[in-house]
Amino acid sequence: MSSTVGSVERALFDTPGPRAIRRIRMASVVAAFCLLAILGAALVEFGRQGQLAGDQWALFTRPSIIRFLAKGLTSTLEAAAVAAVIAVPLALLAAFGRLSRRRWTRLPSAGYVEFLRAVPVLLLLYVFLLLLPRYGVNVGAFWMLVLPLALSNSAALAEIFRAGVLSMDRGQFEASLAIGLTETQAMRLLIVPQVLRRLAPALISQAIYLLKGTTLGYVVSYTELLHQAQTIGEYHNIFEHINGPLIQSYIVVLVVFVAINASLAKMARVVERRQVRRYGRGPVAGFTEDFMATDEATLHTH
């Protein structure tokens, strides 16, 4: 069997050829060079403006500031974790709804996924912030951030789960029906556990996007990490009548997010390598749409 990420990518996108791979590599090198050049120019300009001076960074060694930022980081992780807990079950329901042979299940599930994939998370935030309170629905800052993130990510995860199911060996499903399991039991007891295990690297990678999405909490005044950093800069600018360390605060937040996301990316690569060692890289038998569309009566005769 192939690795999880490779299977998902082949199910969702066309596999690039040798020429496309060369172009992707060249574009990646050029993009990395441009990014380094921009960062270098920014550092030079910061130095000229005195933004790299030691006194500009001394603030972040104070225990009170560290605790303030740590509280924001805790709120960020809490929002991301709760959104993930909500998103995964919704994604599984939507994925299996799209794989259903029943139109009344398949079409609403497809509409749910496609609609939420097309709508920006920021727009969903404004729905919870501005529209729903007009009808008496006010869920608070935490849920105004968590629910849009969960809904948006559930649509993306649904496509990943669907691709994972389609990559499963068709014979496993047929064998489970042959021993007397119903279709639902086969999915719940056999297919879903394997799909979740195989998709572990992709799920970890998706957590990176979910974590970055929490930075939109400033829209609803949720005290996540970026909001706390902005508060530090504005407080010193307004109340202490000095040039607040807003840029330095953002840089500190940048470093924290890079460290967390790099750790998650490393974890995803480690899990993927373990999956490859366990399952190999061979071709995956197609658990295809035409099988899912097989006559229902035939399946239930087993």
Residue 124 near residue 247, CB atoms below 8 Å: no
CB 281 within 8 A of CB 3: yes
Tell if the pTM clears 0.75, that is, is over it. no
What distance in Å separates the CA atoms of residue 14 and residue 126, rounded to the nearest whole number?
Answer: 35
Integer Cα distance of 165 and 108 in angstroms: 19
Query: In this model, does residue 85 exceed pLDDT 90?
Result: yes
At 124 the pLDDT is 92
Query: Measuring CA to CA, which residue among 14, 9, 183 is closest to residue 99?
Result: 183
pLDDT-derived band at 7 (thresholds 50, 70, 90) equals: very low
pLDDT of residue 150: 94
121 versus 55: which is more confidently predicted? 121
CA distances to 94, 137, 215 from 132, in Å? 24, 5, 22
Please indicate whether residue 202 or residue 45 has the higher confidence score (pLDDT): 202
The domain limits of the chain are 4-299
User: Which of 176, 201, 200, 206 has the alpha carbon at shortest distance from 287?
Assistant: 176
Contact yes or no for 47/57 (Cβ under 8 A): no
- Confidence check: pLDDT of 53 > 70: no
- Residue-wise pLDDT for 244-285, tens only, equals 577 788 888 888 999 998 898 888 888 878 877 776 553 333
Asked if 127 contacts 148 with a C-beta cutoff of 8 angstroms, the reply is yes
Res. 116 pLDDT band, cuts 50 70 90: very high
Burial degree of 98 (CB within 10 A; 0-12, 13-18, 19+): buried
CA distances from 90 to 151, 155, 201, 252 (A): 8, 8, 19, 34
For residue 179, the one-letter residue type is I
Amino acid at 170: R
* Residue 206, token pair as written in the block: 């998706």
4-299: CATH topology is MetI-like fold (1.10.3720)
Structure tokens at 124: 């969903």
Nearest to 158 by CA among 102, 122, 203, 208: 203
Structure tokens at 137: 């629905």
**What average pLDDT does the segment 225-240 reach?**
74
Distance of CA 144 to the CA centre of its chain: 18
Q: How far apart are CA 262 and CA 148, in angstroms?
A: 25
